[in-house]
Amino acid sequence: MQRPPLEPREALRILNPGPVVLVSCRDGERVGIITLAWTMPVSGEPPMVGIAVSPRRFSHELIRRSGEFAVNVPTADLLGAVWICGTTSGRDADKFAAAGITPSAARAIGAPLVDECVGHLECRVEQAVTAGDHSVFLGRVVAADAESGCLGEGPGTARVQTLHHLGGRRFFTSAGALVEAVGRDR
């Protein structure tokens, strides 16, 4: 079957099955939070995740300097906050306040967690790899929590609905509903 060609940059979107996350970080008094779709498990033992962050982002500097970050898993009802955290710079605004989300204390790292999120992975950076126009931070999970019902037995069985980015303002939920963010673009 002949398929229409895609630009390689656009083709990366077919590999984005994981949920959109909010990655929070702190370096001293400076706090950041960024929306990311490029996250992945990279090791089971020890448990590690990878996140891809552009060096142009404020959060990149905070993660690089502090050596830690938290992966916060939002549900579909946080679409507005996800959009704000992905389109507003932390250099210019308090994104927690702008997005109407609550920072809460982590157990093992200095970065705040997002209280409204249903799951959190607290990570310490083990390695940072330059990968083209992004850095991939490989973080060891040193603490984690999740609301009951977050881990289902298969696709669509979790009691919470996560967000998955399709590009631009378009997302789908883990229940299969298409949703679109409103607000300003970056």
Domain ranges within the chain, ordered by starting residue: 19-147+156-180
Residue 40 one-letter amino acid: M
pLDDT (tens place) for every residue of the chain, 186 residues total: 777 776 776 666 666 567 899 999 999 999 999 999 999 999 989 999 999 999 999 999 999 999 999 999 999 999 999 999 999 999 988 999 999 999 999 999 999 999 999 999 999 999 999 999 999 999 999 999 988 777 665 555 567 888 888 888 888 888 888 889 987 776
CATH homologous superfamily for 19-147+156-180?
A: Electron Transport, Fmn-binding Protein; Chain A (2.30.110.10)
Classify residue 75 by its DSSP letter.
B
Q: Give the tokens for residue 123.
A: 């990570």
